[in-house]
Amino acid sequence: MTQKRILLGVTGGIAAYKSAELVRLLKKAGCAVRVVMTGGAEAFVTPLTFQALSGEAVRTSLLDPTAEAGMGHIELAKWADRILVAPASANFMARLAQGMADDLLTTVCCATEAPIVLAPAMNQAMWKNHRTQRNLALLEADPQITLLGPDQGGQACGDVGPGRMLEPQAIADRILLDSPQSLAGVRVVITAGPTREAIDPVRYISNHSSGKMGYALAAAARAAGAEVTLVSGPVALARPADVALRMVVTAEDMLAAAMKAVDEGCDIFIATAAVADYRPLDCADQKLKKSRENLSLALVRNPDTLAAVAGRADAPFTVGFAAETNDVIRHATDKLTSKHLNMIVANDVSRTGVGFNGDENAVTAVWQGGQQVFGQESKVNLSGKLVTLIAEHYRATAHSNKHPVSSKEKS
């Protein structure tokens, strides 16, 4: 794979400190990263921080006599195959929207043919301000520019609302997933993570799912142009950029949230969640005392979200995952048939380093009449490939009229 060359622009805002982590994540993923800082950014973080993390000299000045032939901005504009501005302040967005070239970063943006990605960050009132929104409309209409976020939530100034920069991991995932728009206009619902089934107010039954596979797929589907709803059990992951996130706790919550999301419109359903198959028959009102030597729990079977979605009269193109420890393909194929799925992704979770919790996975996608093996690699890279495969099969099925291509796409 050729190395991605990312030019990271950092503008003035408290979120600038998070961009240091962004550089680390992009470097870890094998990208070459160069950093351009505005004067405002330098008030929050020193260039030395970014120099140490990127391994490259940080550029701050347009009129820099030491830069190559005094034309450093042109060299930078040609070098980058993607410009990412994170955080993108209200002031920077205004200047970019107007096509200004009054500092190094705006000048490079004017001079480049590379795609420009903005991760806005500002106070919620500044974000809602009609002048910012007017600039935003100009930027959104610009085919060279993509916006990631902003997120909602508490802000450094104490306000609550839209304007927080997306978490560095969510931004890095989107930058790394440069996929063709194979799912443009398609609505995708994904389940991810574990469920928790309460035993008493402080204990629960669960499993080792981290949600990483499902979150990576959500980011990949979004990067491929899909409108994504992620139904997630309790995990410690940042919301993928531009994905609707619905948090749940139990298997019953997951069924209800997934069915609601499918009711709202779903062309492809992907179930990566490790749903607890059983839950305690009763949840004790009080914490169970440990005076007893033995404790037996009566368990009842949980509803199966995947089977329920696949069994609907208006079933979307449905993809399951199967976590197996033996006879992996046989068990996965049984689930493909018994749950009436279009595809199942078989996951050998007996292998170390793949499956639950890790950053990597190795899987075999199985469908009626075929299969494709994907060797061990990061869940982020694997997700891009799985999304491409799922999109191909979805299109083929849609063309046979079983799953009509989404009405949004047709219009």
Instruction: Report the distance separating Cα 287 and Cα 179, nearest Å.
Output: 49
Binding status of residue 266 toward ligand PMT by CB under 6 A: no
Binding status of residue 347 toward ligand PMT by CB under 6 A: yes
Count of alpha carbons within 13 angstroms of residue 105, beta-carbon side: 31
Instruction: Select the residue interacting with ligand PMT from 101, 238, 244, 349 (CB under 6 A).
Output: 349
Q: Are 322 and 345 in contact (CB under 8 A)?
A: yes
Residue 48's region, left for phi above 0, alpha for psi from -120 to 50, else beta, is alpha
Q: Are 149 and 242 in contact (CB under 8 A)?
A: yes
Instruction: Report the distance separating Cα 159 and Cα 5, nearest Å.
Output: 36
Instruction: Select the residue interacting with ligand PMT from 81, 321, 394, 403 (CB under 6 A).
Output: 321
Q: Could you give the C-alpha distances from 222 to 95, 187, 218, 260, 325, in angstroms and in order?
A: 28, 10, 6, 20, 31
Instruction: Select the residue interacting with ligand PMT from 335, 343, 366, 406 (CB under 6 A).
Output: 335
- Residues that contact ligand PMT, how many (by CB under 6 A): 28
C-beta of 103 vs 173, nearer to ligand PMT: 173
Contact stretch for ligand PMT (CB under 6 A) within 129-137, 144-152, 273-281, 380-388: 273-281
Instruction: Select the residue interacting with ligand PMT from 181, 357, 368, 376 (CB under 6 A).
Output: 357
- Which listed residue (31, 157, 266, 283) is catalytic? 157
Query: What are the φ/ψ torsions at residue 118 (nearest 5 degrees)?
Result: -115, 135
Binding status of residue 277 toward ligand PMT by CB under 6 A: yes
The interface mask with ligand PMT, positions 191-220, x = CB under 6 A, is: x-x---------------xxxxx-------
C-beta of 107 vs 347, nearer to ligand PMT: 347
C-beta of 51 vs 206, nearer to ligand PMT: 206
Q: Are 158 and 123 in contact (CB under 8 A)?
A: no
Q: Are 341 and 306 in contact (CB under 8 A)?
A: yes
Instruction: Select the residue interacting with ligand PMT from 302, 342, 383, 397 (CB under 6 A).
Output: 302
Contact stretch for ligand PMT (CB under 6 A) within 105-113, 162-170, 299-307, 394-402: 299-307
Q: Which amino acid is present at 271? A: A
Contact stretch for ligand PMT (CB under 6 A) within 99-107, 116-124, 268-276, 291-299: 268-276
Residue of 26, 121, 20, 13 lying closest to 81 (CA atoms): 26
Q: Are 119 and 150 in contact (CB under 8 A)?
A: yes
Q: Which amino acid is present at 70? A: G
Q: Which two tokens stand for residue 33?
A: 């990263």
Query: What are the φ/ψ torsions at residue 380 (nearest 5 degrees)?
Result: -65, -50
Q: Which amino acid is present at 276? A: A
C-beta of 132 vs 210, nearer to ligand PMT: 210
Active site residue 157: yes
Binding status of residue 381 toward ligand PMT by CB under 6 A: no
Residue of 278, 379, 272 lying closest to 318 (CA atoms): 272
Q: Which amino acid is present at 279? A: R
Instruction: Select the residue interacting with ligand PMT from 323, 336, 343, 366 (CB under 6 A).
Output: 323
C-beta of 11 vs 305, nearer to ligand PMT: 305
Instruction: Select the residue interacting with ligand PMT from 106, 320, 380, 393 (CB under 6 A).
Output: 320
DSSP state of 66: T
Binding status of residue 232 toward ligand PMT by CB under 6 A: no
C-beta of 119 vs 274, nearer to ligand PMT: 274
C-beta of 145 vs 217, nearer to ligand PMT: 217
Active site residues: 157
Q: Which residues bind ligand PMT (CB under 6 A)?
A: 191, 193, 209-213, 251, 271-275, 277, 302, 304-306, 320-323, 335, 347, 349, 355-357
